[in-house]
Amino acid sequence: MKLKNTLGAVIGSFVAASSMGVMAQGQGAVEVEGFVNEYFTDSSRNFAHDEGSQYGGSIGYFLTKDVELALAYGEYHSLNGDKALGNKDIKGNMTDLKALYHFGEPGPGLRPYVSGGFAHQSISNVDAGGRDHSTFATAGAGAKYYFTEMLYARAGVDALYNIDQGETEWQAGVGVGLNFGGSKPVVAAVVEPEPAPVVEEPAEIVRVELDVKFDFDKSKVKEDSYGDIKNLADFMNQYPQTTTTVEGHTDSVGTDAYNQTLSEKRADAVRDVLVNQYGVGGERVNAVGYGESQPVADNATAEGRAINRRVEASVEAEAK
């Protein structure tokens, strides 16, 4: 009864501990377990019955996320001697050290395992006194089911080869345990590369200039100037956001008032060609006259005066 109460308290402690914050499995984790084994002796060491129970506990350490090194201790109950002179109530214990390899990934769910190691057994009263000591090589297999990261149940079978006696015995058992203190593999965060800064190329400024020459005292656009005017019109139609001011000029021959009027007529004539012949919107073309006030050449020569009889215009735009 005392043993049952103790085992119940241990299981209750496991359940209570599992309600704490979730612990990570993996390398560095520690497992503690309480277990019950059914021991099948199957040997010639004078047991009255060929089986008995073993109660104990173990502690294990995960060298990697899959490999655990575990130390266990258990005491036998319900083993009876067969000698007439012996005490039929056999007392004893077993201590074993083994390595377990787990399959699958850490976390809730099923993890089968295989194991192997060595054990030392000490039992009493087999031959009416004294103790029997045996060394075993062990091999086993089983599975653990993790209800959470922390709480698990286990079932397994072990073959026990008695190196001293040359005989094989068996045990099958169940256990309940806790896994805590480990660390899961760190998953590298995926860092999205920063988008490369968009370097805007400086806008290219394109420019068209117009320089239309006029005969002396005339405001009629000459035929050989139409091509230049068309170039300006085509540019403005390509860039419909542009506007321009057509500027008329004269040489210095004549009065200021006459030359002012003549310069305005020359500017209007060029504007008329842009708007009425080449389709530039009238609201985009302004015309202004400056008379003889802005010469670009020497009015004292015929060549200079020919250069000053002119209409000028320019248009700029950002090329796309």
- DSSP assignment string, the chain: -HHHHHHHHHHHHHHHHHTSSPPB-STT-EEEEEEEEEEE--SSS-BSSSEEEEEEEEEEEESSSSEEEEEEEEEEESEEB--TTS-SEE-EEEEEEEEEEE-S-SSSEEEEEEEEEEEEEEEE-TTSSSEEEEEEEEEEEEEEEESSSSEEEEEEEEEEEETTTTEEEEEEEEEEEEEESB-PPPPPP--PPPPPP--PPPPEEEEEEEEEE--TT--SPPGGGHHHHHHHHHHHHHSTT--EEEEE---SSS-HHHHHHHHHHHHHHHHHIIIIIT---GGGEEEEE-TTSS-SS-TTSHHHHHHHSEEEEEEEEEE-
Which pLDDT score, from 0 to 100, does residue 24 have?
63
| 183-210 per-position pLDDT tens digit | 555 556 667 788 878 777 777 888 899 9
- Sequential pLDDT tens for the chain (320 residues): 444 454 444 445 444 444 444 446 788 899 999 999 988 876 666 565 567 788 999 999 999 999 999 999 999 887 766 554 345 677 789 999 999 999 988 889 999 999 999 999 888 755 555 677 889 999 999 999 999 988 999 999 999 998 988 888 889 999 999 988 765 555 566 677 888 787 777 778 888 999 999 999 999 999 999 999 999 999 999 999 999 999 999 999 999 999 999 999 999 999 999 999 999 999 999 999 999 999 999 999 999 999 999 999 999 988 76
Which pLDDT score, from 0 to 100, does residue 219 have?
94
* Domains of the chain by start residue, with CATH: 2-180 (2.40.160.20), 204-319 (3.30.1330.60)
Which pLDDT score, from 0 to 100, does residue 17 have?
42
Which pLDDT score, from 0 to 100, does residue 198 have?
75
Decide if 299 contacts 252 (C-beta within 8 A): yes
Could you give the CA distance from residue 164 to residue 293 in angstroms, rounded to a whole number? 129
